[in-house]
Amino acid sequence: MTIEKTTVRIPGLTKRYTFCHISDVHVAYARPDEPKEAREMAEKHAQRWSPNGILPVDALDAALNHADRIHADGVFLCGDCADYLSDGTAAYLHDRIARTETEVFFVCGNHEGGDYYKKVEDLRVCYPVYADLMYGSPAFWVRDMGEFLIIGMDDSDKNIRREQISALEEQLERGKPIVLLIHIPVYTAAIDPPVRTQWGPGGCDYFTLGLPHDPPLSREFCKLLSQKDNNIAAIFAGHIHLAHEGEFAPGKMQYTSAPTFTGYLREVTLEG
Ligand SMILES: [Fe+2]
Ligand SMILES: [Fe+2]
């Protein structure tokens, strides 16, 4: 496993906290009793997401075992943990996460509700399947860690809703530092060059949020995050399949994890 260590300073914290930031595991799994097509599809996709010869399920194991071993305060699982919506994959992930001693903070990616072979009208179709991993509220959830808040927001269809913005504004009012988990990273000057290099000149259109063609509320959300002096201390995301860190506001960093199917994990220390 490749472990990248990152320290985030959050003024006011009196303790040190360690989190494991992972994303884009792209697990595809079918139980032995599922129909042949389901098993073949899972096998095909598991191979597809094993460029380094590590199966996604093994990469997930390694990451969660590492979190347990170091007694992390939590795992930031920033989306695309599943490769597509299926019973076998969802059951597998629930079981694996339940066997993890460390608390896992889960947000949806565009793959949790995705289907390679059918058009999905609304990616939120996966909400009932994964809601229990997100305090029953996949669009927006809050976990109060005492000295700071961890907030998970679903931005995986690039369509932020008014209720999500209102919920975030309400939490910003509380005055506690916020660690925000999303799937699609916010567009920034810093993220532009690496995304272009990896995904081509139009890469940021698909892989980031907040460009002029994105819906007005999504742009409003990004603007809110970049406002000077708000309480958003750090953003953790995935989706671009690249490890990146760059400012989303002066002195405040957004991090994306390289895909965990490659055996990558970011070990994050939060301290005052
Ligand atoms: Fe992904
Ligand atoms: Fe994604």
- Whether the CB-CB separation of 203 and 185 falls below 8 Å is answered with no
Q: CATH code at 87?
A: 3.60.21.10
Q: Say which ligand is closest to the CA of 208.
A: 2
Can you give the pLDDT at residue 118? Answer: 86
The strand order across the sheet containing 2-9 reads 2-9, 264-271, 17-22, 74-78, 104-107
Q: Say which ligand is closest to the CA of 257.
A: 1
CA of residue 32 to ligand 2 center, whole Å: 27
Can you give the pLDDT at residue 30? Answer: 97
CA of residue 82 to ligand 1 center, whole Å: 9
Can you give the pLDDT at residue 152? Answer: 98
Can you give the pLDDT at residue 34? Answer: 95
Nearest to 25 by CA among 117, 106, 142: 106
Can you give the pLDDT at residue 223? Answer: 97
CB atoms within 10 A of CB 211: 15
Structure tokens belonging to residue 34: 């599922």
CA of residue 178 to ligand 1 center, whole Å: 24
Q: Which residues of the chain have pLDDT under 50?
A: none
CA of residue 242 to ligand 2 center, whole Å: 11
* 80 vs 77: CA distance, rounded Å: 9
Q: Say which ligand is closest to the CA of 241.
A: 1
Which residues crowd ion ligand 1, with CB under 5 Å? Answer: 24, 80
Q: Say which ligand is closest to the CA of 45.
A: 1
CA of residue 87 to ligand 1 center, whole Å: 19
CA of residue 15 to ligand 2 center, whole Å: 33
Q: How many domains does the chain have?
A: 1
Residue 162 has phi, psi (to 5 degrees) of -55, -40
Measure Cα distances from 33 to 41, 82, 86, 88, 177 in Å. Answer: 14, 20, 14, 10, 47
Q: Say which ligand is closest to the CA of 108.
A: 2
Q: Say which ligand is closest to the CA of 25.
A: 1
* 221 vs 236: CA distance, rounded Å: 15
Long-range CB contact pairs, 91-96, < 8 A, 24+: 91/29, 91/31, 92/27, 92/29, 92/57, 93/27, 93/130, 93/133, 94/132, 94/133, 96/57, 96/60, 96/61, 96/64
Q: pTM for this structure?
A: 0.98
CA of residue 182 to ligand 2 center, whole Å: 10
Tell me how long the chain is.
272
Can you give the pLDDT at residue 133? Answer: 98
Range of the domain at 56: 2-271
